[in-house]
Amino acid sequence: MKKILTSISLVLVLMGCSRTTVDTKAEGDKLMQLSREWSQYASKRDVEKTLSYWADDATVISAGDATLKGKTAIRQMVEGSYKDPSFQISWEPQQAEIAQSGELGYLLEKTTIIANDSTGNPVTHQYNSVSVWKKQADGVWKNVLDVLSPEGSK
């Protein structure tokens, strides 16, 4: 009986040790830093670096535009935007939330896009954004969903 109790105790200890605890605050901070880096590459018009933050099967949803699914469609959007010399984009994460599993997270962000209107005058557009991130098998966070909604007038 003593052997059985010792074995059960050992199994329970090992099971308790095998559970990984996710530091959701640290992961959230990492995600916010990744978002800031991504914004910097986007503002520099670096197509390849900008695309590298999206997962291959990512989706982009922006009010008034067709939903983009997959990196090929997203690449076309990025390249088309960068062809406009007046186009500027930047964003700043405001809040991060990470699932207890550490596999999914989302950011609430403020996004600014500037582009010339049809008369050649720059127009600034403000967006509230949500970006959903998934940790890949190699441990790297990739964006799987971007949703941009125009900020309402105040």
First to last CA, the chain: 73
Query: Quick one: pLDDT at residue 14?
Result: 45
pLDDT score of 154: 55
Alpha-carbon gap, residue 34 to 40, rounded angstroms: 10
Taking domain 22-150, whether its CATH number is 3.10.450.50 is answered by yes
Identify the pLDDT of residue 19.
57
116-146 burial string, b = 16+ CB within 10 Å, else e? eeeeeeeeeeebebebbbbbeeeeebbbbbb
Domain range list for the chain: 22-150
Q: Give the pTM.
A: 0.83
Per-residue pLDDT of the chain (154 residues), as tens digits, is: 555 444 444 444 444 444 578 999 999 999 999 999 999 999 999 999 999 999 999 999 998 899 999 999 999 999 999 999 999 999 999 999 999 999 999 999 999 999 999 999 999 999 999 999 999 999 999 999 999 999 975 5
Tell me which H or E stretch contains 46: none
